[in-house]
Amino acid sequence: MTLIALNADVLVTMDAQRREIRDGALVADGPAVQWVGATADLPPQYRRMVDDGTAQVLDMRGRVVMPGLVNTHHHMYQSLTRAVPAAQDAELFSWLTNLYMLWSHLTPEMIHVSTQTAMAELMLSGCTTTSDHLYLYPNGARLDDSIAAAQQMGMRFHAARGSMSLGRSKGGLPPDAVVEEEEAILRDSLRLIQQYHDSARHSMLRVVLAPCSPFSVTRELMRESAVLARAHGVSLHTHLAENDNDVAFSREKFGLTPAQYAESLGWVGPDVWHAHCVKLDAEGIALFARTGTGVAHCPCSNMRLASGIAPVRTMRDAGVPVGLGVDGSASNDGAHMLGEARQALLLQRVGHGPAAMGAREALEIATLGGARVLGRDDIGALAPGMSADFVAFDMSGVGYAGAGHDPVAALVFCTPTDVSTSVINGRVVVRDGHLLTADLPRVLTRHRELARTLFERAAGH
């Protein structure tokens, strides 16, 4: 059925001219946008469909409509381990060490329900496309558990097959109990690509290969994952240059900076994106710009773990593709995509002054930036032929009172709110602030039970 959104106070297109259309309207047919413009200019054939009730009509009065936000880095299973006391006040390496043993008790159901929960949170906060980096597979868990959740939730999904192979006994950081054999990792990666990866335009599911980090996998696995990914046209993702310890590890073990290490393994190019890059040096920024290598900027997580301020201003000026990531729920306990855009702006300003980032640039990074990082030219903007992924924010609440001069900037400067409407691939998934694709109270009840079970098992009850 044709979907027609009308009367938006402002329709933010993120198109080539970055048009913001007053009293905007949008027509979608199936997965794609057909027409975008002012409501008064709606072509007669669509006007007739509104009048005779043959289209699904969304009245967007009082709302700002914009392209769905794109989340480029997450670990959704961590929604079971938010605000864990032992990991509240640590930097990356000790934070991880405190959590690995807890995560070793995850089950397939825990992966499934935590993914549903994390996706619900993202969808309600304006995100329509997300990646998830799952790198632990204890007790029979599989990436299929999160893929099934994404399909139920109706979210556009880039499922990253993470992995860890370098246990403590071999000089890595994670305990041996949570790492896998490299041969099994590569075999499962190939199975997932063959079973699920859809490279078509408007694809709802792509597979990504994602060995976890320099301190948890070998160079061989990094190299072989890149070869496998390129043979099948899938993207590559990992963590890089997250903090000073991460850089020190790289220099000590490999005699290379993180960027040199990535380049030596073939991990640069438009099909690669790295999370964090807080400590990417000038040489690394030039390399990333030259090769089109992407960065998932995760400002809340970087502040939570005191990792530092990623040089996003410098990266953007150099031409590095930058998207936003909420990161896992154990290092950013609130996964709100609009909130993340706000923190990106605030953090750049703390580091580099008031001109370092504006509200519209923050929204651009959260939409077009993320799309480019994920290797997509069909999301991140609203124009004919683009995927019909859009969200609406109701500007009538107390949080936006007095910000009517510039409602678009208000989305970033004011306290982040949830969406009133979300449409993914032409399907309404949130209406009047309610998620339509899951029984959320029921999911949350089960999520609470499973979080408790996880802690009890880890404590040996």
Binding residues vs Zn ion (CB under 5 A): 327
Question: What helix, strand, coil percent values describe the chain, rounded to 5?
Answer: 45, 20, 35
As measured in angstroms, the least distance from the Cβ of 328 to Zn ion is: 5
Nearer to Zn ion, 99 or 392 (CB): 99
Nearer to Zn ion, 133 or 447 (CB): 133
As measured in angstroms, the least distance from the Cβ of 298 to Zn ion is: 7
As measured in angstroms, the least distance from the Cβ of 259 to Zn ion is: 18
Nearer to Zn ion, 327 or 340 (CB): 327
> E-strand spans in 122-204?
127-134, 156-163
Nearer to Zn ion, 246 or 327 (CB): 327
Nearer to Zn ion, 131 or 203 (CB): 131
As measured in angstroms, the least distance from the Cβ of 129 to Zn ion is: 17
As measured in angstroms, the least distance from the Cβ of 185 to Zn ion is: 18
Among left, alpha and beta (phi > 0; psi -120 to 50; other), residue 235 is beta
The vertex-77 CA angle with 454 and 216, nearest 5°, equals 100
As measured in angstroms, the least distance from the Cβ of 123 to Zn ion is: 20
Cα 354 from chain centre: 26
Contact assessment for residue 410 and residue 396, using Cβ atoms and an 8 Å cutoff: no
What angle, 0 to 180 degrees and rounded to 10, lies between the N-to-C axes of helices 182-196 and 143-153?
Answer: 30
Distances (CA, A) of 261 to 165, 210, 248, 321: 18, 16, 12, 19
Nearer to Zn ion, 327 or 418 (CB): 327
Instruction: Tell me which residue has tokens 């999160």.
Output: 146
As a whole number of angstroms, the distance between CA 211 and CA 384 comes to: 37
The structure tokens listed for 336 are: 């709100």
Name all contacts of 244-247 with Cβ < 8 Å and 24+ positions apart.
244/279, 244/308, 245/91, 245/92, 245/93, 246/92, 246/213, 246/214, 246/215, 246/279, 247/279
As measured in angstroms, the least distance from the Cβ of 213 to Zn ion is: 8
Name the strand (E) or helix (H) holding 229.
Answer: helix 219-232
Nearer to Zn ion, 160 or 412 (CB): 160
As a whole number of angstroms, the distance between CA 366 and CA 297 comes to: 10
Distances (CA, A) of 118 to 82, 130, 137, 155, 164: 12, 10, 18, 11, 22
Nearer to Zn ion, 160 or 443 (CB): 160
As measured in angstroms, the least distance from the Cβ of 336 to Zn ion is: 17
Nearer to Zn ion, 157 or 393 (CB): 157
Name the strand (E) or helix (H) holding 34.
Answer: strand 32-38
As measured in angstroms, the least distance from the Cβ of 242 to Zn ion is: 8
